[in-house]
Homo-oligomer: A and B are copies of this chain.
Amino acid sequence: MSVLPHHLVATSLSSSTSNFFAQNSFDVVRTQVVSAPFRKMGVCKCVATSPTEQTAYKTQVSRNGNIAKLQAGYLFPEIGRRKAAHMLKHPDAQVISLGIGDTTEPIPEVITSAMAKRALALSTVEGYSGYGAEQGEKQLRARLASTFYGNLGIEEDDIFVSDGAKSDISRLQVCVLFGSNVTMAVQDPSYPAYVDSSVIMGQTGQFQKDVEKFGKIEYMKCTPENDFFPDLSKVSRTDIIFFCSPNNPTGSAASREQLIQLVKFAKDNGSIIIYDSAYAMYVSGDTPKSIFEIPGAKEVAIETASFSKYAGFTGVRLGWTVVPKELKYSDGFPVAKDFNRIVCTGFNGASNIAQAGGLACLSPEGLEIIVDTFTSLGFKVYGGKHAPYVWVHFPGQSSWDVFSEILEKTHVVTTPGSGFGPAGEGFVRVSAFGHRDNVLEACRRFKELYK
């Protein structure tokens, strides 16, 4: 069954997404019990542009010029404005949003019961606990190490439990990136938080409107032409390399061979990879779920991970970051020690209730439910090399034009690919989340439009 017409060319690494998309529509994706959304973007949804309340008084404190560099009318606020305008124009339309994704499916009871139990215990003398370790509870760190990195040499004390990957990326910026001459590379397109937090920290130059890039950032082009993996021979050396796999927004997952190349590239250049594995649960087969499956990665990589997609914890807030003790600055000082210091200075640990939920996810019963859930998604039928979103190519068209046409004619909200970087121009990202009925209805409307 083909949902999108032939001129919507879905592309992804190893063409898995296009297979997936063409053969299965959205309905297979929607069989999930534990939902697994896009991460919400690192952009602000409510920055007004004109100060409405004028008082005479101003302090003499200068505004941080780096924040001013950020682009004001950013991706998701703009989508929100256009959606609102559309709804005003078509008050009776049933608008379906496949733009920003979010988890929508309930969390398995074995997990919520554990959290409720922990919450209720806080009313008892025996069950009460105050400040926990900034790095997370020992038992959870140990279970994360054994569950996800059992034979990879990652130990309990390499793992820092957090309130989510977005906070950790921000802390990593302070710890690792902050400094006057540190340079960074990102996949283009990629999750905007990497670039945004780097801009705020003063790592970048101004936004260059002509090329739609910030100065001093190395954009690693990921397009259908290079199988969504950057041609590393053309990438300049940087101190930091942000790498997300499976990638948001393209849905492509780097293969073992590609990650071996990436680790070698980092090692040859003395770079540090910050590997975002938020969508790792969506890969299967031989495609690595962790960068630490690659020999030597412990000396060049940090990995951020999250319970958000794994167990629908987007609102509960729980994630972790792995900083192996083998990773060293140029003077031989372990990166983990500075990261630990940052965590201890600016964070007081994840909520103890959320951590109880995380532990339940990793219990034998919790694990079984989660594994069943992901197995039932049927991804393995298509080689396991994709993520739960689709990156659709409209050659020669502008992303915003395609976005507008789809919205105008089908009342479906998507996300213009150009918002993820200049190489995203000509694409839209279609989220395969949202309630099943909505996704099916959106498919019907797409077919109608492009029949």
Binding site for B on A (CB under 8 A): 35, 37, 40, 42-48, 51, 53-55, 57-67, 70, 102-109, 111-113, 115-117, 119-125, 127-135, 163-164, 166-167, 169-170, 173-176, 178-179, 181-182, 193, 196-197, 200-202, 239-240, 266-267, 269-272, 299-300, 312, 314-317, 325-334, 337-338, 340-354, 357
Given the complex of chains A and B, what is the CA–CA distance between A202 and B174 in angstroms?
11
Q: Are B60 and A239 in contact (CB under 8 A)?
A: yes
CB distance from A309 to the nearest CB of B (A): 11
What residues on B are CB-neighbors of A103 within 8 Å?
128, 130-131
What residues on B are CB-neighbors of A55 within 8 Å?
299, 326, 328
Q: Are B106 and A122 in contact (CB under 8 A)?
A: yes
Q: Are A70 and B341 in contact (CB under 8 A)?
A: yes
Given B122, B167, B341, which contacts A112 in the complex, CB threshold below 8 Å?
B122
What residues on B are CB-neighbors of A104 within 8 Å?
128, 130
Main secondary structure of the interface of A (DSSP, over half): loop
Given the complex of chains A and B, what is the CA–CA distance between A74 and B413 in angstroms?
53
Most buried by B among A67, A173, A202: A67
Q: Which residue of B lies closest to A344 (CB)?
A: B44
Q: Are B200 and A328 in contact (CB under 8 A)?
A: no
CB distance from A319 to the nearest CB of B (A): 9
Q: Are B327 and A59 in contact (CB under 8 A)?
A: yes
Q: Are A47 and B337 in contact (CB under 8 A)?
A: yes
What residues on B are CB-neighbors of A350 within 8 Å?
163, 317, 351
What residues on B are CB-neighbors of A170 within 8 Å?
345-347
Known: A53-B334, A65-B179, A128-B312. 6 other contacts (CB 8 A): A54-B332, A57-B300, A59-B328, A61-B270, A115-B116, A170-B345
Most buried by B among A131, A133, A337: A131
Name 9 A/B residue pairs within 8 A (Cβ), A-sorted: A47-B341, A57-B326, A59-B329, A62-B239, A62-B330, A104-B128, A109-B123, A112-B120, A115-B116
CB distance from A369 to the nearest CB of B (A): 11
What residues on B are CB-neighbors of A240 within 8 Å?
61
